[in-house]
Amino acid sequence: MDVDIPTPFSAKLLNVIRKCLLGTFTLFASLFAVCRRKRIPVISEDILKLPAIEVARKIRYREITSAEVVRTCIKRIKEVNLTLNCFVCDRFELALQEASDIDALIQSGIKSTDQLHAEKPFLGVPFTTKDSICVKGLPATCGIYSKRNNIATEDAEVIRLLREKGAVIIGLTNVPELCLWWETYNTIYGRTNNPYDTARMVGGSSGGEGALQAAGGSIFGIGSDIGGSIRMPGYFNGVFGHKATRKTVSNQGNFPPVTHEAEDACLAMGPLTRFAVDLKPILKILCKNPKDLKLDTPVEVGKLNVYYQVNINAPLTDAVDFEIEAALLKVVDYFKLKFNTNAQERDIKLLKQSTNIWFASIATDTSPVSLILENPNRCKVFGEIFKNTFGCSKNTIVPLLLGLFKDIDLNGEEYRTFKELGERLESLFKNLLGDDGIFLFPTHPTAALYHNESLFRAFNFTYTSVINSLGFPSTTVPLGLNRKGLPIGIQVVANHYNDRLCLAVAEELEKAFGGWIEPQRKMP
């Protein structure tokens, strides 16, 4: 049953104060942005404008070598990284050697192109991943300064599976400290800039990966998502990203390791791509049992039941910008005009509790601040916050602030209440969507914000995080640029194990609305 729980007066007052501070910050940020904006070069190599599956085909058929593609990616990374600061660690020499070995295998003719396609569908294709997904021999820091010398001793499961299918890992991309915020910044590598406007953020926590994909730095990328960490960077950078149904992709090899059931249930590793057609073949490799997701079962997009909602109406959360709302309604109109689909608008009251539901769904008996500070206590945390104010702390502000809050009592009434609300909301969606329904929903209420502006819009991540709590698959789909030249789009949500519906709709909308748009040389 859906219920509307009134917003407390204190939350309304905080929202008024927040908006006043936000207005002042945004004014100064917009003035400062004039000095910060820099351009990245246009993509000069056509191979970087092709889907990963097409790059793989060209390599198999000897139209281009893997080594040439790897060198092209290396060149592009070096072109854009001084401006974007999205790529943090390379294995270029090893990748080139692996690519040369792959080219020798193909040239030998030992296996036919059909055999290579069947056994190693991404043979020779270079990809990247975020600095919280382990790659053997590379740093695994998760942006934590005290872990800056930590080296991964083995590949994460998703990396192992992709390498087994022929893909070539070329390096790591930037993340926020502890992957705990949705702006990508840490004290090891610094801040990552948006390729569409370098005065703006890239999202998080797969922010470096989202920026690199948008800029054409690798053929595809792998991120992880516990509250929108694939979908928000995908959205802010105008590329596709998919969060799979809960527990269908292994989280082994995440750093720091996943040690709690609650985290494992919400966290999902998955692809970030410039082209929707790449999502399904990558997901087929990553998921534990492809049969569970029935990815090869055809989807008739025109026969799907379509539902949508524009705003979440949660406390301290912004309403959706009018251009994003217009983009969502254009998709609704598209379904009606092309397929005669009568999309139904919903006003699900329980979504107002999304923030509380998410915090309850990831609650554990371990404070995250213990991962960045040894033996933390409130005095120590206050001391680091004071040092941070003067730029002297090696930790970032958000994890430190979280260290001031009392841990959730896993036996308390409040925890049980929000867990129960989450279960009710999940049941409501399951009954609504069935096996042939999709839910169109904003990925985020605004386009990419100015750097640090997220501190005044802290709970806007709720539009994505609630989907993690419910365990549903979701794909973020780019739908063009707004009036300021920034990417906007929506997410497509389906019922458990119906990832194929999200992916099919993403491909349909890419054809209709154009998908990824190369970052413009002329800044807005």
Give catalytic residue positions.
130, 205, 229
Residues 6+ apart with CB under 8 A from 318: 445, 446, 457, 460
Assess whether the previous peptide bond of 250 is cis (omega < 30° from 0). Answer: no
How far CA 205 is from CA of 1, 170, 201, in Å, comes to 33, 19, 11
Cβ atoms of residues 175 and 151 within 8 Å: no
- Is 302 exposed, middle or buried, given 0-12, 13-18 or 19+ CB atoms closer than 10 A? exposed
Amino acid at 139: P
Owner of token pair 């406390």 = 315
Cβ atoms of residues 220 and 271 within 8 Å: yes
DSSP state of 459: G
Assess whether the previous peptide bond of 233 is cis (omega < 30° from 0). Answer: no
C-alpha span between 343 and 333 (Å, rounded): 8
C-alpha span between 495 and 20 (Å, rounded): 39
C-alpha span between 155 and 262 (Å, rounded): 23
How far CA 379 is from CA of 1, 376, 404, 406, 409, in Å, comes to 44, 8, 9, 14, 21
Owner of token pair 């309403």 = 319
Backbone angles phi, psi at 221, to 5 degrees: -135, 165
C-alpha span between 300 and 306 (Å, rounded): 13
Return the closest-CA partner of residue 362 out of 273, 422, 314, 430. Answer: 422
Cβ atoms of residues 471 and 426 within 8 Å: yes
Helix runs in 85-153, H state only: 92-108, 113-119
Run of H or E residues at 285: helix 279-286
C-alpha span between 46 and 76 (Å, rounded): 12
How far does Cα 107 stand from its chain's mean position? Answer: 37
Owner of token pair 């009568």 = 342
